[in-house]
Amino acid sequence: MKLLLISNSTNYGESYLMWCQTQIELFCQQNGISADSNLLFFPFAGVKISGIEHPNSYDAYQERVQGVFMGWGYKRLSSIHRFKAEEMPEMIDKADCIIVGGGNTFHLFAEMYEHALMEKVREKVCKGTPYIGWSAGSNLACPTLGTTNDMPIIQPQSFNGLNLVPFQINPHYIDPNPVIDDMIKHGGETRMDRLNEYLTVNQKTTVVGLREASALWVDNDKMTLRGGKKMLVMRYGEEIYNVEPGADVSELLVK
């Protein structure tokens, strides 16, 4: 499989997808994705797109992503929501690259199941079609949505994800006790607390904390950490450790 699993789309103060532009372009280049390739976008996590006045959030999301990719020279990006239900499987078959945007992971899963797209996308990607996902799109590639940070605004038919990787990703990982302002630190439940709860219930699962401005690049049985941030690896009953940027983390692909 060819996967690029990105923690976040936007760093503070930067334009949309700016920090990961190099990663996406290099990933596309190395996997034969050209200006004329068919890129198929899944906007279902985009319940509300901030900064865009548009009556349909999926249309707005497509326009935002399409504009960025066109600026990079990719001319053929379409969105799955533009097609009728009976047309969607054919569009997946024709796709040269699957792209899944971030937003609310529960809503993404709900829509994927509502349109019966989970197995079709998994089959397509497992046959070698490149997959790019950020935030919720990275969660979708995991066994379940259990390590998302999102509010459950809708109940999907199942929590089961695409299971393209055998571990769970927590995107946007934030280290404990972030500073809220100059005087006050967060005194409540931390991200680490929540992930430890998950591991207590799911003791055979590996969880990785993917910090902002980092991504996992999977090339068949090899996986590397890209970007400029360390990645946290957590397993029940084991010492937590950090992985340096650029490291080979292929061992996480072994179940």
What pLDDT score does 202 carry?
A: 97
Q: Please confirm, yes or no, whether 96 is among the known catalytic residues.
A: no
Chain CA centroid to CA 75, Å:
22
Distance CA 213, CA 12 (A): 10
Q: Is 103 helix (H, G, I), strand (E, B) or coil?
A: coil
Query: By the 8 A CB rule, do 126 and 1 touch?
Result: yes
Distance CA 44, CA 216 (A): 22
Give the per-residue SS3 of 145-171. CCCCCCCCCCCCCCCECCCCCCCEEEE
Distance CA 64, CA 57 (A): 10
CB neighbour list of residue 253: distance below 8 Å, 6 or more residues apart = 165, 166, 218, 221, 223
The residue extents of the domains of the chain are: 2-167+213-228+243-253
Q: Please confirm, yes or no, whether 172 is among the known catalytic residues.
A: yes
What pLDDT score does 52 carry?
A: 56
The superfamily (CATH) of domain 2-167+213-228+243-253 is Class I glutamine amidotransferase (GATase) domain (3.40.50.880)
Work out the burial of residue 224: count CB atoms within 10 Å of its CB; fewer than 13 is exposed, 13-18 middle, 19 or more buried: middle
Catalytic residue of the set 7, 135, 138, 214: 135
DSSP symbol at 248: B
Q: Please confirm, yes or no, whether 175 is among the known catalytic residues.
A: no
Catalytic residue of the set 172, 186, 214, 219: 172
H or E segment and range at residue 68: helix 57-71
Catalytic residue of the set 150, 186, 219, 250: 150
Average pLDDT for consecutive 10-residue bins of the chain (255 residues)?
Answer: 96 91 96 96 88 72 95 96 96 98 96 97 98 98 97 96 98 75 63 94 97 97 96 97 97 92
What pLDDT score does 12 carry?
A: 86
